Each structure stands twice: as C-alpha cells, then as structure tokens.
Amino acid sequence: MTWLAGVAQASTDQGCAAAPEPVVSLDHGSRYIADDSSRSIVDPTSNADVNAQLKPIDAFIRSLAQEANSVLAQKGDPAQSANCVVAQLAHWARADALSDLKNLTANFSVGSRLVGFAFAYAQVRPYADLTQEKTVIEAWLLQRAREQMAFWEEDATPGSKRGNLRAWATLAINLAGFLTKDDSALRWSAWSATFLQCQALEDGSLPQEMKRGKYALHYQLHAIAPLVVTTLLLERQGLSTRGVCDCALVRIVNFAVNDLKTGEKSQAHSGKTQSFFDGSESLEKYQLAWLEAYLLLYEDARLEHVAESLRPLSHSKLGGRQDILWQAWDPRHDF
C-alpha cells in the first residue's frame, strides 16, 4: 500500500531507518513433536518454521529496545530517537500487525512480542511529539491486548492457562492497560498474575513448567521473567499482588535460583536431567534479566550479589537494558 510506504519513507527522511515489513499473519506449529505430552522433544522441521516466522519480529523488537534505551540514557537527540521509534511502531500498527493469528500456537507466541513492543513504546512516549502516531499505536496495542484476554479466557488449552505463555500475555495486557488507561486490562492483569503465582507448590516449583521434561527449569525461568515484572508494575500502579499466596513469587524465584547449581530439584519433579546440565543448552544472561525488577520488590543480598556479577542485564522483550529502564522510567510518573 502506498500510504504505508509513505510512512516508512518519511521516517527515513528524518534520519530514521524505515520500519521492516510488518508481520500481520502467523500460522506456525509447535516446536515440539506432536506425540510428546511433555513438549520437550524438538521437531527440527517445525522448529525451523517457528524461528523463520518469528525472526523478523524479534529482530525488530531488538532494534526498538536499543533505540528506546538510548532515549532514556539521553544519548544523541532523545526527541529524534523517540520519534523514530514511534514512527516505526506506527507503521506496524497501521498495518494491523499480528492481527491474523491462525492457530493456537500463533496465539501462544504473540504475548512476549507484544511485551517487547509495548516496553519500547512506553520508554519513548514522553519524549515523542508524533501525536497521531501515538494514538494509532495505543489503539493497536489495546486491540491486541483485548484479543489476548479473550483468547486466554476462551480458547487456550487448560494446561497453557497455568503456564509461562499466559504470564507473558499477562504482562503485555498490563502494559497495554497502563498505556491506554484501560482499567479492565489492568485489573485482568492483576487477577491473572495472582492466579499464576498461586499455582506454585510449597517448594516454589510451578507444576505446569515441571511437566516439561528436561526443560522444566528452563521454563520455570521463562515464567519468572514476566511474573516478576508484572508484579513490579502492578505494585507501582496501585494494584499490588506482592505477597499473594504466602509470598508465592519469592518461593518461585528461590526454587529456580537454588536449582541453577545442579538442576536436581527440577529433575526430581520432571524425571529428566535438566537442559542446563545435559549439554543441550547453556544458561544465558538474558534469562536472569528479571533480577533487576525483583530487587526493586524485595531486598535480597544473595540475589544482589548474583545480579552484580552479571550486570549489565538486558532482555529485549523486557525493554532492553534493565538498569537503564528501571533507573529512568517509572509508570507512576509517565503522564
């Protein structure tokens, strides 16, 4: 469409790279073989298809996070960089990106990507002056959030409703609610975050993640990231879920951190040697990026020491550099 191309070209003329081609449809299957109930045996062909469909989205999110961080860090011209991020996002919003999700797995994938877009936008919004583009982006994010609320209430499978993918969708819905002042989205996110934390067993393990065979600990960490960040945002939004179910979040975090030494606790639940200890994957720094948000919720000398040894911590879907994000951005003062 020529009018969409015009938006991208305008951003280039202002010294901003054109937005990549918007991804409107997703129809990928699962990464895992169909007859494995634990979803821990990767199907190479299907995994390659998933990666191919999600790669352009994730690359765009990484670019946006880097630019948004430069705005918060006051590098270069913050207003110009902020307008660049807004113009690029508006290009995707006007194309109604991620609106055509053709199956369950596509709906499962979209939550964390919406988090990445929303965090990039939230960082730059106060510095950008493209009013019309902001309106378009916020309407797009809220529409995607409403679709995700309906999906998780009506169409998601029973097991997935208790797992890490719902946690990422919950964070996306919270951010969309905050950015648009939508009370229903904010309150749904608070209810969903509470529900998910209260799934934890006494030892802090998350039962849905412990079903994932050798990836049990991997997915416990994948759930922790959005659970922690949503909890911090809700705390600052006046909808506190901190301490629910006898401080479930503390137990969830402690279970994972303690198990990073040997993986034996997750192995006891799942019956499999964990992926971080069987040679199939290595723990990456970004998987612990949530530590910065957690330490704003709870004082913990041991975890502060862990975080200090890893800094700077960054995760593009959580807004990039966590030190820059949480030192310079506070949703209580955004408006």
- Residue 221 CA to residue 285 CA, distance in Å, equals 12
Cis amide linkage into residue 312, ω under 30° from 0: yes
Contact 235, 228 (CB under 8 A): no
- Residue 82 CA to residue 86 CA, distance in Å, equals 6
Q: Which residues pair with 315 in a beta bridge?
A: 320
pLDDT at residue 55, as a whole number: 97
What DSSP letter does each residue of 213-252 carry, written as one string?
GGGHHHHHHHHHHHHHHHHHHHHHTT---TTHHHHHHHHH
Span 248-275, pLDDT tens digits:
999 999 999 999 999 999 999 999 999 9
pLDDT at residue 334, as a whole number: 58
- Residue 189 CA to residue 231 CA, distance in Å, equals 10
pLDDT at residue 50, as a whole number: 85
Token output for 174: 């919270």
Burial of 152 (0-12, 13-18, 19+ CB in 10 A): buried
What DSSP letter does each residue of 55-93 carry, written as one string?
HHHHHHHHHHHHHHHHHHTT-S-HHHHHHHHHHHHHHHH
Confidence bin at 15 (pLDDT 50/70/90)? confident
CATH number at residue 218: 1.50.10.100
How many structural domains does the chain have? Answer: 1
Domain that holds residue 248: 2-333
Instruction: Give percent of the chain with pLDDT exceeding 70.
Output: 94
* pLDDT above 70: residue 14: no
Span 274-291, pLDDT tens digits:
999 999 999 999 999 999
Span 184-198, pLDDT tens digits:
999 999 999 999 999
pLDDT at residue 8, as a whole number: 40
Span 117-175, pLDDT tens digits:
999 999 999 999 999 999 999 999 999 999 999 999 999 999 999 999 999 999 999 99
User: What residues have CB less than 8 Å from 91, skipping those under 6 apart?
Assistant: 4, 7, 8, 11, 18, 19, 22
State whether residue 38 is helix, strand or coil.
Answer: coil
Token pair 């949503």 in the structure block, residue: 230
In whole numbers, what is the pLDDT of the chain averaged over residues? 93
* pLDDT above 80: residue 322: yes
- Residue 18 CA to residue 7 CA, distance in Å, equals 8
pLDDT at residue 332, as a whole number: 62
User: What residues have CB less than 8 Å from 5, skipping those under 6 apart?
Assistant: none
Of the listed ranges 32-46, 47-61, 90-104, 136-150, the one predicted with least confidence: 32-46
